[in-house]
Structure 1
Amino acid sequence: MLHYCLAHLAYHFSRQLPKRSRAKFEILVLLLVTFLLLLLPQIFVLLRPKSSRYCGQPLLVNLTSFIIFTFIMTGFTVILTLMDPIPNEVKVAFHVYGVGSFAQGIATTAFTVPASQCANTTPELYYLSLVLSVLSVLATVFVGFLIPFWLADVFNKGMVSNHRSRAGVCQKPVANCSYLWHV
């Protein structure tokens, strides 16, 4: 769920900027978040000689799939931040990707929890998997907290926050940061 959450937040943060500044924001997001914070550590650990040692859990395979999800996240981030309006097909594909990202987060956590013995044989791989597991769980909790609000807004438009009439259950809490809850 980490990849889905990051792309979703980038989309809504970009919508707070004027259209002419979105390309600059996109470059900043791609350079900082995708490459420096996510992709560079993953590729570094993948290329370490210690990472290919034996580990009782398939952490190396999981890291490879995590890298693939990071590349897909990069593509969705570019598409979502630069397109206006977003076609429904892209929205559906993105939410299906979110389900896959959720499954990836569960797999990462499930493989990392019983892999404490891997801290001795493949320390970088184990600790990166541990960090990615914690971040995935935090992102899942965040999105899980927001899902009831998203569903309420889908079934009863304007109930959660109606910006035009400045009404709704969450109008005051999200008046300055509406991009956090909106789908």
Structure 2
Amino acid sequence: MFLYMLIYLAYHGSRWIPRKQRLKFQIVNAVVITLVLVPQFYVIGRSKSSRYCKQPLLNNLSASIAFSFIASGFSVIFTLIEPIPQSLWASYHLFGLLSCGEGLCTTILTLTAKDCVKTTPELYYMSLFQTVASILSTGFFMVRGGLWLTKLNPGTDLSGNNESPAVPH
């Protein structure tokens, strides 16, 4: 969910800037993409990362790198195209569902890989960081979803009472 959130933030952040002045935002977007990808490539390139670990954290990191490339493509496209076609929105939300599943797998693998901290420390800590980021971003979307649900029926407050004034007959 972390990568899904980054795309979400890139899209909404770019909409604050006039379309013709988004070059600076594209530079910031490229820096964020780099900050996401470089640590993953560093960890996967370490010789310690290929050591034996009970859990397939290395395979999970490879999947995370693939997801990161897809997310970087979405963030660039979403900040350049206006309006976004419905098919692209649908593929973005499908990516979010897959990203949620990948975050869940990362969380499960990390929680069951306590012994890997001794054999593959960088890989374990990268997985731990991804787990925390996934949990925090899932919380972000849960709050956003809750706020969205409260706005579905604008005539009611949080307690379910009708806020609209009574219409005299």
TM-score normalised per structure 2: 0.88
For the Cα contact (< 8 Å) 1:10–1:81, is it kept in 2? yes
- 2:86 is aligned to 88
Q: Give % identity.
A: 46
Distance in 2 between residues matched to 1:117 and 1:80, nearest whole Å: 41
For the Cα contact (< 8 Å) 2:67–2:99, is it kept in 1? yes
- 1:15 is aligned to 15
Aligned positions of 1:1-183 closer than 5 A? 1-30=1-30, 32-35=31-34, 37-153=35-151, 155-156=152-153, 159=154
Shift in Å, 1:94: 0.4
Amino acid at match of 2:36: L
Shift in Å, 1:116: 1.0
Shift in Å, 1:151: 4.3
Amino acid at match of 2:52: Y
Q: Secondary structure at the match of 1:57?
A: coil
What stretches of structure 2 of length at least 5 have no aligned partner? Answer: 158-169
Distance in 2 between residues matched to 1:126 and 1:24, nearest whole Å: 35
For the Cα contact (< 8 Å) 2:29–2:76, is it kept in 1? no
Give the CA RMSD over aligned residues.
1.7
Amino acid at match of 1:12: H
Shift in Å, 1:22: 1.5
Q: 1:77 to 1:62 in 2, by over 3 A?
A: same
1:43-84 per-residue CA deviation (whole Å, 9 max, x = no partner) reads 000010000000010100000000000000000001111111
Q: 1:97 to 1:151 in 2, by over 3 A?
A: farther
Amino acid at match of 1:114: T
Distance in 2 between residues matched to 1:38 and 1:12, nearest whole Å: 19
**Total equivalences in the alignment:** 157
For the Cα contact (< 8 Å) 1:50–1:122, is it kept in 2? yes
Distance in 2 between residues matched to 1:100 and 1:26, nearest whole Å: 25
Amino acid at match of 2:59: V
1:111-140 per-residue CA deviation (whole Å, 9 max, x = no partner) reads 001111101000000011101110110000
For the Cα contact (< 8 Å) 1:59–1:111, is it kept in 2? yes
Structure 1: 4+ residue segments shifted above 4 A:
none
